A and B are shown apart, each in its own frame.
Chain A
């Protein structure tokens, strides 16, 4: 099962390594990991998406909680929350295809943020499904590069 885990940590060097080591030591692959400062500059939020054995994950979450630098951990599995991922896609685009690509970008409410003679760069935010969908639509034109932030998430309501 896919889990989105949100971890508030001390904004210090070495914290990322501590967290990554916990997953690595148990052979757990991290699907995505996004880190950024919160409104309090001494605290960072890490959003970690993982997929794998539930029992091991339960253990990893306990271990994470035990780390001295971890302030709070939330597994969003059964919590209503919003997830967003930002993606930059560089697609081949020339005179003949540019219009068609523009239409796709419009439908997805994405944005073109850079244009060159034979490529465009598209920026889009969304959840996993929406990002997969636009990538599928753009594939026939030739995707040159994709960069993603990884999912960030926040619980709904109070």
Chain B
């Protein structure tokens, strides 16, 4: 039967089993939105307040489920507003398909109204993108877009659809399979390499598993646990891998790197073998590269060959899917006992665990500690960026994978709240909490309307330190406490944040009133003793709730490896 491009779009989404689309309409996607109206009982459309919000929601949906997140926006400003969300997903290898309207094919290149070179602008921040120039190509292109997004090293794919293509008609036929001759992702690892890796593992005395987001993308948590236990090897999980290894497991070394666990960082520096899986030796993890893991040989398992030997020399590369390679590896590795090595590590763990002052003050770490206890690590925690993110990573102990969502590679402030909305829509039975700074939350605060109007019950925990805390921390430690443009509560960006210049009486914004103005619940917490009860009560409210925790302003994230220092030059306390 003949169908319009817009109908083909909707039918194709059904074929891809898409249940939710996030976005905002506009002039160049009206034909598609007219179909969104027809298909409203089959595909839920969530109208957001900003396209960046739509993109992060699709991302949160994808991260929390492993399914492809989908968003739909108009041409020009709609597309440019989306770019930060695409870049965020691209850096963290998150499967997403973004659709953008485009001016009619006859007008492309004419600086037409609301025209932007969307494929040009988004090329470096997507895994791939398409401009559809013929309606006959539309179904095939959509199928390829989903296929590319969710296979190999996953990532966001954008499909730009000119408005005349949306109106044009053709025979609809959704291709059964995808065959892209130039794109054949490799999943199974090279058998010889796997055997070599196993030999190296069998002879190592002080091995360390260093795992990243790849474990989560490949749903390989169980296999990882089996491997770690069989070879009796501690596991350090990067920011993107938090939750893929059970908390409180004796082999869990938690997050490594700049604000990572002391024991994990020392383990890197002292180990004789790194088994890296789905991790990419990011500079926030390795510290000073020339001093990184001086005694270690490296096995690197990754689905993306470009990640291998990019930053460090790798002795044994294995290209392929984490789950399948670990499963193979398990056949060749011998059961081991690394008691001596683990004893050394537990000493480090005992001398310098993540810790903060347990006094009467309302400290941000305490709030997260409590969240972790109250939710038993079963809530999906999403973070913004800055100190809040690092404290969440240090103190929230998720029991499962896909329960800690954070913008790792790009470090996008404003990611958390919309991503939390996306995660909640995908997991309506789960508690979903956005841990935020008072800076970051203001970057996508408009999505309160989306949350409240659609009854999306997410909890926002603001660790309100009245400043751009992470930047302030750097200025305190490396710029002689010259606070430049970091204060969020005073007119001049407060050059001095000293005690005499405390917060003004009026808070701008007053997050409680702000919440109320959107029809959400707002609660302010100023005392440590109120933290626990407030959290317990707030989690019971079936509404969007903002909890505004007024925390210590000059609290620092520790430990810290200063930029450019080696991992063992880690600072664990400040004078």
Contacts and interface: CB of A to CB of B under 8 A. Distances in A.
Interface of A: 9-10, 13-14, 17-18, 21, 25, 58-59, 62-63, 65-71
A66 B128 CA distance: 10
Nearest to B182: A71
B183 A68 contact: yes
A69 B306 contact: no
B310 A59 contact: yes
A16 to B, nearest CB: 12
Contact of B123 (A18, A63, A71): A18
B306 A66 contact: yes
Contact of A25 (B120, B124, B181, B183): B124
9 contacts: A10-B182, A14-B123, A21-B124, A58-B309, A63-B306, A66-B305, A66-B306, A68-B148, A71-B182
Q: Which 6 A-B pairs have the closest CB atoms?
A: A62-B306, A71-B182, A68-B128, A68-B183, A63-B306, A66-B306
Given A21-B123, A68-B128, A62 B305 contact: yes
A13 B181 CA distance: 17
Nearest to A22: B124
Contacts of A65: 305-306
Nearest to B129: A14
Interface string B169-197: 00000000000111100000000000000
Interface in B278-334: 304-306, 309-310
B271 interface: no
Contacts of A71: 181-182
B131 interface: yes
A4 to B, nearest CB: 21
B119 interface: yes
B124 A59 contact: no
A99 to B, nearest CB: 50
Contacts of B180: 68
Contacts of A63: 306
B183 to A, nearest CB: 5
A68 B182 CA distance: 6
Interface residues of B, number: 17
Interface in B89-124: 119-120, 123-124
B414 to A, nearest CB: 25
Nearest to B183: A68
Contacts of B181: 71
A98 B183 CA distance: 55
Interface of B: 119-120, 123-124, 127-128, 131, 148, 180-183, 304-306, 309-310
A17 B123 contact: yes
A68 B145 CA distance: 11
B120 A17 contact: yes
Contacts of B309: 58
B518 to A, nearest CB: 41
A57 to B, nearest CB: 13
A143 B304 CA distance: 49
A14 B128 CA distance: 11
B436 to A, nearest CB: 32
Choose among B182, B183, B310 the residue with the greatest number of A CB atoms under 10 Å from its CB.
B182
B204 to A, nearest CB: 27
Given A67-B182, A68-B127, A68-B183, 17 more contacts: A9-B182, A10-B182, A14-B120, A14-B123, A18-B123, A21-B123, A25-B124, A58-B309, A59-B310, A62-B306, A65-B306, A66-B304, A68-B128, A68-B148, A69-B182, A70-B182, A71-B182
B209 to A, nearest CB: 25
B411 to A, nearest CB: 19
Contacts of B131: 13-14
A148 to B, nearest CB: 28
B157 to A, nearest CB: 9
Nearest to B144: A68
Contacts of A18: 123
Nearest to A70: B182
Nearest to A10: B182
A108 B310 CA distance: 45
A59 B306 contact: yes
Nearest to A69: B182
A14 B306 contact: no
Nearest to A25: B124
Nearest to A66: B306
Contacts of A69: 182
A8 to B, nearest CB: 8
A18 B127 CA distance: 11
A71 B184 CA distance: 10
A69 B181 CA distance: 9
A98 B304 CA distance: 59
A18 B122 CA distance: 11
A63 B123 CA distance: 14
Contacts of A17: 120, 123
Contacts of B148: 68
A139 to B, nearest CB: 41
A63 B306 CA distance: 6
A71 B128 CA distance: 15
Contacts of B119: 14
A67 B309 CA distance: 18
A10 B144 CA distance: 15
A6 to B, nearest CB: 15
A40 to B, nearest CB: 11
Contacts of A59: 306, 310
Contacts of A62: 305-306
